Amino acid sequence: MIPTASPSPAHVSHKTQDKQLSAITLEGVLQKRQLEQALNAKEFAVLAGISYTTARDWFRIPDFPVFRGVVFWQDFADWRIRQNRSRCESVMQKKSAGGEAAAKILSSGLPPRAARLLMEA
């Protein structure tokens, strides 16, 4: 019997263990994102690293950028940035004692996570 070689890591298909997502491969979804194609809820769940149930819940959020059951990854990324900015602004308002410093941090153009970390320091 001749031993068979295992596939190289570049050819291994990454699949989720969620039964709803078992037919969706990360490689296929990454390619769709790279080509700027719309993603359905299952594809979005795989790419975002969330469950299908969570993806469906997000698709029902009133301001979530879904259109006829699909979302473009860049629209989702922009939406998350707006959500995080909103949270940063509310944190800034709550910490009015250091309001000027927080306002400078938020208006500095830093990514939301970096701005939040600086405000908490």
Confidence category of residue 112, pLDDT binned at 50, 70, 90:
confident
**Under 8 Å between Cβ of 83 and 54:** no
Residues 9-49: tens digit of each pLDDT: 444 445 556 777 877 888 888 999 988 898 999 999 999 99
Confidence category of residue 4, pLDDT binned at 50, 70, 90:
very low
Q: How far is CA 28 from CA 5, 77, 92, 93, 94, in A?
A: 24, 19, 40, 43, 43
Residues 49-76: tens digit of each pLDDT: 999 999 999 999 988 999 889 999 999 9
Residues 78-102: tens digit of each pLDDT: 998 888 877 666 666 666 555 666 6
| Nearest-angstrom CA–CA distance, 37 and 35 | 6
Confidence category of residue 114, pLDDT binned at 50, 70, 90:
confident
Is 105 exposed, middle or buried (CB count within 10 Å of its CB: 0-12, 13-18, 19+)?
Answer: buried
Quote the pLDDT of residue 58: 93
The full set of domain ranges for the chain reads: 14-71, 74-121
Quote the pLDDT of residue 9: 45
pTM for this prediction: 0.58
